[in-house]
Amino acid sequence: MKKELTLNANACQGQAPTSMATMAAKAVQRLIAPVANYYSSVLGTKVSTRQALLLTNAQAAFVMAVFPSDCHIALRAVCVCWLASALLKCRRAGIRTSC
């Protein structure tokens, strides 16, 4: 049994990679916008989408470094390095506390 598939030029409904990347970036921005608004209200300054992502990364790194009590010491060291890296990125992005 011979299997054939015929495609014409109009059958491809895919979009250009840059267009798909733009759509993905807009979707992420729509998801992160409420988080950025929350951080803005807590910190009292305007927080961009990138800064909100950096703060979320720092919070996740803190949770993974502090709370797992029964993990291997090497894994805990990796999480502490992740936390230090996340905090440095926040500092470089201009995120400051009032203390």
In sequence order, the 6+-apart residues with CB closer than 8 A to the CB of 50 are 93
The pLDDT value recorded for residue 82 is 96
The pLDDT value recorded for residue 99 is 56
The pLDDT value recorded for residue 68 is 78
d(CA 39, CA 44): 8
pLDDT along the chain (99 residues), means of 10: 70 65 89 94 90 95 88 91 95 78
The pLDDT value recorded for residue 10 is 58
Q: What is the pTM of this model?
A: 0.72
The pLDDT value recorded for residue 98 is 61
| Cβ–Cβ < 8 Å for 23, 41 | no
